[in-house]
Structure 1
Amino acid sequence: MKVKTTVYLVLAVLLIAGGSLLAIKGRDAVSQAENRKQGILESEQTAVRYGSNPGKIIEVSVAAGDTVKKGDSLFKVQTAEGSDVEVIAPEDGFVTKIAANEGDAIAQGMPLAVVQKTAYYTDIYVQESQIQKLQLNQSVKVHFPNVKITDDAEGVIASIAAAPQFASLRMSREKGQADLSMYLVRVAIASDDKLMPGMTAEVDLDEIAS
């Protein structure tokens, strides 16, 4: 009888220990997931507008898909007064759209092309309890979990702002509810020919010292 009781006690201890270990591992998994902040890789686009006197396009120097440097000539326009005006690229990037053709008559303010910047960014939302890990101009590693990119990208914290849309957000919990305070953090990422807008970008807060 004593032997049987001892066996039951040992089994009970093992079950409790195993359950505690699973709970700890479960909490660790939740913590790791909470610390991996994901966003979508994005790139700003700039509309190139004509800013001089009315005239006619006499030369189109680029096509959609071309890479350009800031200051490169995109169009040449001959004004009604007979002078030639160049329309230049406002940023480094590549041309995503051409909205005018050679021979077109144009007026001041008309959009002629769209240039997408080669620099990228991603926005992540960080809880109030974690925001102290981040500061402006801080370097961070950016991972791309869904694509086969072996090297992480170098990112820099470009801005940190309170996210008002989360001010009244409520998260259901097993025992009651709690308000969440979130901060919108923008991470600027250097250009890289392996990256494309729309990719999932991830910053692991566990990799950043408090």
Structure 2
Amino acid sequence: MKKGLFPLILITIALITGGILMTLDGKDAVTMASTVKYGLLTADTLNQSFQGVGGKITSVQVTEEQQVKQGDILMTLDTTDIDLQIAKLKTDIQQLDVKIQQATAQGDRKEDVERQALAVEAAKQAFDLAQLNYDRTKALFDAGAAAQANLDTVSYQLDTAKNALSQQQAALKKLKTDIQNNAYNVELAKKQKDSMEVQLQSLEVQKQRMALKASADGKVTRVIPKIGENVPAGATVAVIEPKQLYYDIYVDETQISAYTPGDKVPGYAAALKKEVEGVVRYITAAPQYANMRMSREKGQADASSFLVRIDVQRTPELLPGMTLEVNTGGSTR
């Protein structure tokens, strides 16, 4: 009876010893679960939409499954209305240019002002002379040394000189006012032109946006509208799957120091039986369910975990949905 128990005792001792050695070496199931992480390769999707403009689709230049380059035109909207607005603004700007050139050509009219000022001065001298003659004749008339006819003549000459002076002064004032108004009109026309040019630039930007361009290299996976359909601004009209792939792994707070955005991370694709190098895009705190999963993997109380997103360059053999394995313990296959 005792001989039959001896082999069983040896097997039990061997199993216990092997378990202890595996634990010390980090090969036990709990340790492996905490150091080996798995992630599914995923492709980003980029929704393509007309920014700030909507209208009728006039052309669709891509099909689903077609490869495109960044900047390739995907589809276009009808530009008839905006073309008319652009043409009208350009005509208005040209007319303002002519108006500004004509007004500017007049300049400050300095010579005209000087000439009119001389005319005012001459009229003032004539008025002063007429006033002097009138005063002399009036004095003689009061003394009985001049006839009424003489007084009437110099009085008429004085009125004429006074009127002539007023006319010349009014002409000078009007000339200066015209010059000021002309300068104001030039400035106003320039501001109107600036405003129109801003409107023109805005319309040209809107027109450019009516030709939808691919935002990245990749494959068109969906084309929604058809030619002739109306689409609102901001609505998704196509979907591009870029060449960049990524996968997420969850690591605990004791492992996060090993990862920094931009670092290279070796992964292992089981389906291809080869290593696949990735680059850390970003690190962020994981949702609560990930903390619970991390705790279950390690068989311990809840611990904080972090999501590490790793970018992988797409190749013909790498497909979305494949599993990648990352050994956070540092060893690779």
Q: What CA distance in whole angstroms lies between the structure 2 residues aligned with 1:144 and 1:59? A: 42
CA shift, 1:112, in A, is 1.2
CA shift, 1:10, in A, is 9.9
In structure 2, the CA distance between the partners of 1:68 and 1:167, relative to structure 1 (3 Å rule), is closer
Q: What is the match of residue 247 of structure 2?
A: 122
CA shift, 1:58, in A, is 2.0
189, 194, 200: which is aligned to 2:312? 189
Is 1:109 the counterpart of 2:234 in the alignment? Answer: yes
Kindly provide the CA deviation profile for residues 1-36 of structure 1, in whole angstroms up to 9, marking residues without a partner as x: xxx99xx99985775244211443366132233211
Within 5 A, what are the aligned runs for 1:40-189?
40-51=40-51, 53-81=53-81, 83=83, 85-145=210-270, 147=271, 149-165=272-288, 169=292, 171=295, 178-189=301-312
Q: Does the residue aligned with 2:329 lie in a helix, a strand or coil?
A: helix
Higher helix share: 2
Q: What CA distance in whole angstroms lies between the structure 2 residues aligned with 1:109 and 1:172? A: 43
Q: What CA distance in whole angstroms lies between the structure 2 residues aligned with 1:168 and 1:53? A: 44
Is 1:19 the counterpart of 2:142 in the alignment? Answer: no
Q: What CA distance in whole angstroms lies between the structure 2 residues aligned with 1:177 and 1:141? A: 27
Give the count of matched residue pairs: 201
Kindly provide the CA deviation profile for residues 166-196 of structure 1, in whole angstroms up to 9, marking residues without a partner as x: 58738479xx962222111111111212122
Q: Does the residue aligned with 1:81 lie in a helix, a strand or coil?
A: helix
Q: Does the residue aligned with 1:178 lie in a helix, a strand or coil?
A: coil
Q: What CA distance in whole angstroms lies between the structure 2 residues aligned with 1:54 and 1:172? A: 51
Q: What CA distance in whole angstroms lies between the structure 1 residues aligned with 2:319 and 2:228? A: 34
Bigger relative contact order, structure 1 or 2, given CA contacts below 8 A and separation 6+? 2
Q: What is the match of residue 198 of structure 1?
A: 321
In structure 2, the CA distance between the partners of 1:142 and 1:168, relative to structure 1 (3 Å rule), is closer
Q: Does the residue aligned with 1:206 lie in a helix, a strand or coil?
A: coil
Higher strand share: 1
Q: What is the match of residue 29 of structure 1?
A: 28
Does structure 2 retain, via aligned residues, the 8 Å contact 1:54–1:79? no
In structure 2, the CA distance between the partners of 1:179 and 1:198, relative to structure 1 (3 Å rule), is same
Q: What CA distance in whole angstroms lies between the structure 2 residues aligned with 1:123 and 1:68? A: 27
Could you tell me which amino acid in structure 1 is paired with residue 219 of structure 2?
Answer: F
Deviates more, 1:80-89 or 1:94-103: 80-89
Deviates more, 1:105-114 or 1:89-98: 105-114
Residue segments in structure 1 that go unaligned for 5+ positions in a row: none
Does structure 2 retain, via aligned residues, the 8 Å contact 1:94–1:115? yes
Residue segments in structure 2 that go unaligned for 5+ positions in a row: 84-206
Larger Rg: 2
Does structure 2 retain, via aligned residues, the 8 Å contact 1:120–1:191? yes
Kindly provide the CA deviation profile for residues 38-83 of structure 1, in whole angstroms up to 9, marking residues without a partner as x: 1121121111112254432222111111111111111122224164
Deviates more, 1:51-60 or 1:37-46: 51-60
Q: What CA distance in whole angstroms lies between the structure 1 residues aligned with 2:291 and 2:326? A: 25
Deviates more, 1:74-83 or 1:56-65: 74-83
Q: What CA distance in whole angstroms lies between the structure 2 residues aligned with 1:137 and 1:130? A: 17
Does structure 2 retain, via aligned residues, the 8 Å contact 1:166–1:181? no
